[in-house]
Amino acid sequence: MSTTRCLWCGNDPLYMEYHDLEWGKQVKDDKTLFEFMILESAQAGLSWITILKRRPQYKEAFADFDVQAVAKFTPEDVEHILTNTGVVRHRRKIETSITNAQIFIKIQEEFGSFYEYLYQFMPNRERIENNILTQKDTAVTSLESDLISKDLKKRGVKFFGSTICYAYMQAVGMVNDHLNSCTFRN
């Protein structure tokens, strides 16, 4: 049986593995939701493959994506991360990751989990199954990404506008944007 993938992953083995095993799979645990918040925020203005290749270094630099630990990072921690050539050395993005971690925790406390917070914006509190015939049919924002990013911005989250939010929603399976012909559409 032949394998058909979404066109965006091309022939890059790392992209194909990410596409096949992670992209669009529904994530319910807050640790992974926080990981993707850091990674997608870091991606702002860059290609996803740039961040994906650096994911192991992000994991190390950001305390294995432990939101409690990242929320306590100090200015010294920021300086240390800025010396790490394995991450995008953008001071505001690094500092924002700490602030975003603090806000993430407040949201967990308010809603019980970040997952519960996110899904309050979803129709019937369920993931969206899009009908994607060709790659050009894929959206870059949605009503839900607009609402989530607007609410997060109001709470103080940065580097998480509607386009980044939609990419996040795709990554963590809040929307299924695999092509209808994709073998990995779940």
Domain, as residue range, for 88: 22-176
Match 């969206």 to its residue by tokens: 128
pLDDT > 70 fraction of the chain, expressed in percent and rounded: 99
Are 81 and 97 spatial neighbours (Cβ–Cβ below 8 Å)?
no
Question: Token pair of 147, please?
Answer: 């609402």
Helices (H) then strands (E): counts for the chain? 10, 2
Which residues belong to the active site? 18, 40, 48
Question: pLDDT tens digits, residue range 78-135?
Answer: 999 999 999 999 999 999 999 999 999 999 999 999 999 999 999 999 999 999 999 8
Nearest Cα to 58, choosing from 92, 19, 85, 33? 85
Question: What is the CATH number for 40?
Answer: 1.10.340.30
**Cα gap 109→105, rounded to integer Å:** 6
Q: How far apart are CA 10 and CA 45, in angstroms?
A: 20
Does residue 60 lie in a domain region? yes
Q: Provide the number of structural domains found in the chain.
A: 1
| Within a domain: 182 | no
> In the structure, what pLDDT confidence band is assigned to residue 3 with cuts at 50, 70 and 90?
confident
Q: Is the pLDDT of residue 165 over 90?
A: yes
Q: Is the pLDDT of residue 16 over 90?
A: yes
